[in-house]
Structure 1
Amino acid sequence: TFNEANITLLVRLLYGSTGARAGRAAADAAARATGSTHFSSLAFSDPEISTPLLQQAHRLGYDAIKAARPTLPVGLTLTTQDIQSVGDPALVEAYRQQLYGDWVEVARTHADFFGVQTYTRFRVDAGGIVPPPAGAETTDAGYEFYPQALANTIRWAHAAVGKPIYVTENGIATDDDARRIAFIDQALDGVRDCLEAGIPVHSYLYWSLLDNFEWTSGYDKHFGLVAVDRQTFKRTPKPSAHHLGAIARANRI
């Protein structure tokens, strides 16, 4: 029903209430600059207002779809990063509560599957999210190159929600396609481990097929398996596209 329904909670976790308000102000200014009198950005909305509305809409949507097609699977996706404590282990659950709120309970009662969307890990202490370890590789999006986060998040999600898992987003922003291939291989190694452990993982969807427009950075960050010439719109598959395609055709997971 929704993509990353907890995005407002992620923004507040990353930037705090002040940062979220600054994001709303910047979005409003951009809207005025284009002559628009109406603009809405869910990511920078107040989660105290938007989250209950989203949850009500999801439940109503779930019930309506099931009433029309009882056998049609209905689920939701959240932004699900791997949270690791560098201090008190109890902090992990506290930060998960900040990131997910009541969405886990919603997924338990009103979802047939749960979509995992994982890119990295968050290392936390009592003061908040801490920087990556010294010397750690980072992606062009600024976060740590940590493909192991996917398997860790799958394990958590299945234990917490108890529903089949779909990996609906996983990927890396980089102009070094060899690192994209390495990221994919290591992430899929983790998916394979989860399958061997009996976790029902039903998909792996890389984000994204094309170098795309990112809402907060335009066309600068290149996540795609396929490059796009913004002048001619010519699309050129990268080696990573052929690599992932070969894995899929051989069913190597």
Structure 2
Amino acid sequence: MRYEIVGRYLDNLTGADAGDWLGVQYYRKQWVDPDSPTFFGTPPPGVPLTQMGWAVHPDGLREMLHRAARTGLPLYVTENGIATTDTERVAYLRSHLTALARARAEGVDVRGYLHWSAFDNFEWSEGYRPKFGLIAVGDDFTRHPKPSAHALARVATTGRLDALDQPE
């Protein structure tokens, strides 16, 4: 349901008021359950989940980029990330950046990618438990870049996805 609402909005985003570019935020795939009070369903067994209980579905990013591209505007992924352990974060980066690269190869004008979040942060409904950040924040607020931060920096520096696999 949410996908269709966003889709209808994107379909009508054209003309002089469309803007200069469009930001796409993508985190998860969601199931609809008309019997649920929230209309959201539970992911099927075996679907990988984040610390927030969100289903990991990298091709959904590619699909949303194609949908957003119908506006004719250049696209920027302004938020994309995962609350998880750092090892899983590197795998998430690999799968989602691969989906983004595939969309670009298919002709989608994606000009940038911003990961959510640079830092582990406070989530209103979850407190400090979910770890979204590329940089850990200690109890004394000291900051420590995680291996995923170095991996994404290598991708940004080289423009190559295989840089995720290189040692620090």
Instruction: Give the shorter-chain TM-score range.
Output: 0.7 to 0.9
Q: Distance in 2 between matches of 1:195 and 1:168?
A: 16
Q: Match of 2:73?
A: 163
Unmatched tracts of structure 2, length 5 or more:
162-168
2:9 is aligned with 1:96: no
* Alpha-carbon displacement from aligned partner over 1:133-184 (angstroms, at most 9, x marks no partner): 212121001111222221111111112x22111000000001x211100000
CA distance 1:218–1:114, shift in 2 (3 Å): same
2:135 is aligned with 1:226: yes
CA distance 1:233–1:208, shift in 2 (3 Å): same
Q: Which amino acid aligns with 2:75?
A: I
Report SS of the residue matched to 1:171: coil
Instruction: Please report how far the alpha carbon of residue 187 of structure 1 lies from its aligned counterpart in structure 2 after TM superposition.
Output: 0.4
Counterpart pick for 1:105 among 12, 25, 37: 12
Larger Rg: 1
Contact kept? 2:7, 2:67, Cα under 8 Å: no
Instruction: Please report how far the alpha carbon of residue 216 of structure 1 lies from its aligned counterpart in structure 2 after TM superposition.
Output: 2.5
* Alpha-carbon displacement from aligned partner over 1:71-128 (angstroms, at most 9, x marks no partner): xxxxxxxxxxxxxxxxxxxxxxx54344566465356533111100000112236554
Q: Distance in 1 between matches of 2:142 and 2:115?
A: 21
Q: Match of 2:52?
A: 141
Counterpart pick for 1:129 among 40, 43, 47: 40
Unmatched tracts of structure 1, length 5 or more:
1-93
Alignment: residue pair count: 157
Higher helix share goes to which structure? 1
CA distance 1:106–1:152, shift in 2 (3 Å): closer
Contact kept? 1:211, 1:228, Cα under 8 Å: yes
> TM-score with structure 2 length normalisation?
0.83
Q: Distance in 2 between matches of 1:114 and 1:122?
A: 22
Cα RMSD, aligned residues only: 2.1
Report SS of the residue matched to 1:163: coil
Q: Match of 1:208?
A: 117
Contact kept? 2:137, 2:144, Cα under 8 Å: yes
Report SS of the residue matched to 1:116: strand
2:145 is aligned with 1:237: yes
> TM-score with structure 1 length normalisation?
0.57
Q: Which amino acid aligns with 2:12?
A: E
2:163 is aligned with 1:252: no
Q: How does 1:19-58 map to 2 (within 5 A)?
A: none
- Higher relative contact order (CA closer than 8 Å, sequence separation 6+): 2
Q: Distance in 2 between matches of 1:227 and 1:237?
A: 6
